[in-house]
Amino acid sequence: MFSSVTAAEMTGLANAAYWKSNMISPVRFEEAPSFLIEVGPSGALAGAVSQTLEKLPGGADVSYSAAWSRGANAGHSPFDVAGRLYLEGSGYRSGAGQRLRS
């Protein structure tokens, strides 16, 4: 996971101090990756992310995807995101998803 607080890849679990900093610190979109995935029950942040990206230099080059959408098949949603990552040229490897069993 990439931290929008530190502009670096996170190597461990986030603690309470990190989440406090996450809530009060500016989001460092300019240093962030080019693909944002919102993990939650819906794309609640889509509007705010879109408005922020419009104002940033290079914001048009950043893709956004919600991991789940209301009314969508929850079993398909993660694979939809994986497909978008692949199409964006992220280097996503589908082998990890094939190990999942339902």
d(CA 15, CA 66) in angstroms, rounded, equals 24
Token pair for 61: 């080059």
**22 with 36: CB under 8 angstroms?**
no
**Burial annotation 65-82 (CB, 10 A radius, 16+ → b, else e):** bbbbbeeeeeeeeeebbb
- Domain boundaries defined on the chain: 1-32, 33-93
**62 with 36: CB under 8 angstroms?**
yes
Per-residue pLDDT tens for 67-82?
Answer: 887 887 877 887 888 8
> Count of residues for the chain?
102
The secondary structure of residue 42, as a DSSP letter, is: S
Using 50, 70 and 90 to split pLDDT, how confident is the model at 33?
Answer: low
What's the pTM value of the predicted model, to 2 decimals? 0.54
